[in-house]
Amino acid sequence: MEDVRAHAQAYQDRASTKAQNAEMLIQCLKASITKTVHNKIYLQREKYIILRKNTFEQVEDGVCFLKTIIDNYDSNTRSSTKQFRKKLAQLNYFMRHVAKGDVIKLCEHTRESMYELNAAGKNTNDLLANLIEALKEAL
């Protein structure tokens, strides 16, 4: 990703034809992905936002956006779906040992885990029960 960002930084700073191509690429990609995928990628905006050094303008780079999509879905297998479900099933452990009673951290972790699971095309039916158990740890 570092190499992709460095390359993107160079053509974005020059505002060259490659920068225009990257703009078209991101528009095409955004039009062709589902809302679920977009939500997951949006959470990682820092990976595809480039700050043009000469104008200090933030631009979304299409090549970096594509790399972010690839990085997220290249390893999306059954085992990763299993891991997402496991994270959601162990919210009480997360609350006790990681968040240490911080409900905001629990919510952020749960939301991110749900985005990951939804992006894999899966869902969970026991989220409410897992959240209630986790919230008991906050007391």
pLDDT tens-digit profile, the chain (139 residues): 899 999 999 999 998 899 999 999 999 999 999 888 888 899 899 999 999 998 999 999 999 999 999 888 755 556 677 888 899 999 999 999 999 999 999 999 999 889 888 877 788 899 999 999 999 988 7
pTM strictly above 0.75:
no
For the stretch 97-103, contacts whose Cβ atoms lie closer than 8 Å and that sit 24 or more positions apart, written own/partner, are 101/137, 101/138, 102/138, 103/135, 103/138
Residue 68: its pLDDT value, please?
93
Helix (H, G, I), strand (E, B) or coil at 67: helix
Whether the CA torsion 11, 14, 15, 18 is positive or negative: it is: negative
Residue 7: its pLDDT value, please?
93
| Burial class of 76 by CB neighbour count within 10 A (0 to 12, 13 to 18, 19+) | middle
Both tokens assigned to 123? 């869902």
Q: Which residues, at least 6 apart from 36, have a Cβ–Cβ distance to it below 8 Å?
A: 115, 118, 119, 121
